[in-house]
């Protein structure tokens, strides 16, 4: 039933999950990076990931015009080249499907612009294992301008999702979440925030968020928050989606802190 | 005059639909709806008083309003159905694009594994553990069954 957990955990110490790979449910994690024209940062991002962990890195190239593919290959990532642009979520889902087909039971998604520090990967995995949860979001609510925070507030109010950082692309999904996200229903979505979170909630997937520190973008820009017209379209689109996917029955808090799984 | 025109339009559209289906330009499923619409046009042209009689029975004071309302409603439903169909096609298109990308990544990996004995170190030997490459590639194993 009410298994969409929105409370956020206090920070588990970084590196406390030194061996999440020993957990039977999270034995084979993979890292998925959607990238569009990120040749300036993607090499360094992959190098940092390989320094922080030895998980396979799948970079989904969203039909970039620059040399993102070559840079990623040289850095040691397996590149999944999309023939046409599918957008950030379409690319991410491709990576998740690819990882699922290869038998990975856990996927961590990260941005290619260097915003996310790969050293927090273990923190996300630890949250998945310890909470336990099916999805963990690395959130950094401090980031963003006042207008972005207002947008988040609006999205939270309309969708009923009470996570702090709705738009963060730094997430870890376990097998249950992967099964939901590889389904065609998830292909219907354009953005990974409200749509994906509503779908997860609908399917009884537990989501927690963990505070992580993020860095300023090394290169590139937010694919959503860089033009007023796109922001307007995005807000209308996401508000409508959040409203239409909102749970009609009132939220029933899980009893005694335990999270029921449907 | 208007009734003759409606009959002509209806019959011409019906004929056009038949030609399009015959030349494989239009799927029969879509053609059926259009034939119905064209028949409606033709019927109204042939029996112009029909709409008046229906309007009187339904209590509509000005019969053309009924005809226009029905026409607009049918159009709205048709456009909505088209958008539903379009959404379905977009999903299918996106899933196929994803599938192609995944297959391309697989093909590149197979090519690299074939070329591996020649070159000493494949570029992403560290990124993709050998266990995965072996277990997830039915082609390179010559079998569709995975060992693990």
B123-144 pLDDT tens trace: 443 444 333 333 333 333 333 3
Does the pLDDT of residue B100 top 70, yes or no? yes
Quickly count: other Cβ atoms within 10 Å of residue A247's Cβ: 15
> B129 in a domain, yes or no?
no
Token digits of residue B137? 């590639």
Question: How would residue A238 be classed by pLDDT, with cut points 50, 70 and 90?
Answer: confident
Question: How would residue B118 be classed by pLDDT, with cut points 50, 70 and 90?
Answer: low
Closest residue by Cα to residue A223 from A95, A85, A93: A85
A49-53, A92-96, A235-239, B116-120: lowest mean pLDDT where?
B116-120
Q: What is the mean pLDDT of residues B43-52?
A: 86
pTM of the predicted model over 0.80:
no
Look at A148 and A60; give whichever has higher pLDDT: A60
| Domain interval for residue B110 | 62-116
Interface with chain B: mutation pick from A21, A55, A82, A101, highest number of B CBs within 10 Å: A82
| Distance of residue B87 Cα from the nearest chain A Cα, in angstroms | 8
Inter-residue contact A214 to A115 (CB < 8 Å): yes
Partner residue facing A83 (CB), from B97, B135, B146: B97
Look at A3 and B26; give whichever has higher pLDDT: B26
> B132 in a domain, yes or no?
no
> B104 in a domain, yes or no?
yes
Residues B69 and B41 in one domain: no
Inter-residue contact B123 to A73 (CB < 8 Å): yes
DSSP chain B: -HHHHHHHHHHHHHHHHHHHHHTTSS-HHHHHHHHHHHHHHHHHHH-THHHHHHHHHHT-SSHHHHHHHHHHHHHHHHHHHHHHHHHHHHHHHHHHHHHHHHHHHHHHHHHHHHHTTTSSS-TTTTTS-HHHHHHT-HHHHTSS----
| pLDDT of B127 | 41
| pLDDT of B4 | 85
Residues B109 and B84 in one domain: yes
Residue contact A187–B95, C-beta within 8 A: yes
Residues B27 and B66 in one domain: no
Question: How would residue A219 be classed by pLDDT, with cut points 50, 70 and 90?
Answer: low
| pLDDT of A249 | 62
Q: Reduced to 3 states, what is the DSSP secondary structure of residue A56? A: coil
A61-70, A164-173, A210-219: lowest mean pLDDT where?
A210-219
Residues B72 and B29 in one domain: no
Give the C-alpha separation, A72 to B56, whole Å: 73
Residues B111 and B70 in one domain: yes
| Distance of residue B27 Cα from the nearest chain A Cα, in angstroms | 25
> B136 in a domain, yes or no?
no
Residues B44 and B66 in one domain: no
| pLDDT of A217 | 62
Question: How would residue B26 be classed by pLDDT, with cut points 50, 70 and 90?
Answer: confident
> B123 in a domain, yes or no?
no
Q: What is the mean pLDDT of residues A111-136?
A: 91
Give the C-alpha separation, B8 to A131, whole Å: 71
Residues B25 and B2 in one domain: yes
> B78 in a domain, yes or no?
yes
Question: How would residue A199 be classed by pLDDT, with cut points 50, 70 and 90?
Answer: very high
Q: Reduced to 3 states, what is the DSSP secondary structure of residue A172? A: strand
Residues B34 and B2 in one domain: yes
- Complex confidence, ipTM: 0.75
Residue contact A78–B129, C-beta within 8 A: no
Partner residue facing A94 (CB), from B102, B123, B148: B102
A19 contacts chain B (CB < 8 A): no
Domain count, chain B: 2
> B134 in a domain, yes or no?
no
Size of interface A-B (CB pairs under 8 A): 73
| pLDDT of A261 | 35
A-chain residue closest to B105, CA distance = A80
Partner residue facing B101 (CB), from A28, A80, A188: A80
Does the pLDDT of residue A145 top 80, yes or no? no
- Run of H or E including A143: none
Question: How would residue B36 be classed by pLDDT, with cut points 50, 70 and 90?
Answer: confident
Give the C-alpha separation, A51 to B56, whole Å: 81
Residues B37 and B77 in one domain: no
Token digits of residue A204? 């009884």
> B23 in a domain, yes or no?
yes
Residues B68 and B37 in one domain: no
Residues B8 and B38 in one domain: yes
């Amino acid at each position: 039933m009410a298994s969409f957990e929105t409370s956020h955990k206090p920070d588990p110490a970084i590196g406390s999950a030194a061996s999440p790979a020993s957990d039977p449910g999270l034995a084979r994690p993979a890292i998925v990076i959607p990238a569009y024209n990120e040749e300036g940062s993607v090499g360094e991002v992959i190098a940092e990931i390989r320094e922080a962990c030895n998980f396979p890195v799948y970079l989904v190239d969203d039909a970039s015009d620059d040399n993102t593919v070559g840079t990623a290959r040289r850095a040691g990532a397996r590149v999944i080249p999309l023939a046409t642009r599918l957008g950030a979520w379409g690319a991410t889902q491709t990576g998740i499907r690819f990882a699922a087909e290869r038998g990975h039971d856990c996927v961590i998604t990260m941005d290619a612009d260097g915003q996310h520090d790969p050293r927090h990967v273990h923190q996300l995995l630890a949250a998945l294992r310890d909470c336990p949860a099916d999805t963990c979001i690395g959130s950094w609510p401090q980031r963003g301008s006042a207008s972005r925070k207002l947008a988040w507030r609006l999205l939270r109010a309309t969708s009923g999702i009470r996570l702090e950082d709705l738009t963060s692309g730094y997430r870890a999904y376990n097998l249950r979440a992967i099964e939901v996200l590889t389904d065609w229903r998830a292909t219907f979505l354009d953005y990974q925030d409200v749509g994906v979170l509503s779908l997860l909630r609908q399917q009884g997937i537990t989501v927690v968020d963990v505070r992580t520190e993020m860095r300023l973008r090394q290169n590139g820009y937010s694919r959503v928050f860089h033009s007023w017209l796109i922001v307007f379209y995005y807000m209308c689109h996401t508000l409508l989606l959040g409203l239409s996917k909102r749970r009609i029955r009132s939220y029933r808090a899980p009893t005694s802190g335990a999270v029921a799984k449907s | 005059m208007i009734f003759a025109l409606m009959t002509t339009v209806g019959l011409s559209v019906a004929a056009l639909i038949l030609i399009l289906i015959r030349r494989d330009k239009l799927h029969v499923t879509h053609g059926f709806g259009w034939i119905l619409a064209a028949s409606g046009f033709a019927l109204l042209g042939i029996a112009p008083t029909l709409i008046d009689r229906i309007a009187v029975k339904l209590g509509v004071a000005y019969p053309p309003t009924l005809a226009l309302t029905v026409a607009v409603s049918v159009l709205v439903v048709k456009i909505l159905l088209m958008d539903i169909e379009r959404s379905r096609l977009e999903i299918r298109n996106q899933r196929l694009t994803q599938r192609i990308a995944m297959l391309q990544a697989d093909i590149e990996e197979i090519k690299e594994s074939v070329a591996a004995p020649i070159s000493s170190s494949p570029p992403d030997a560290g990124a993709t553990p050998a266990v995965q490459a072996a277990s997830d590639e039915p082609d390179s194993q010559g079998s569709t069954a995975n060992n693990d």
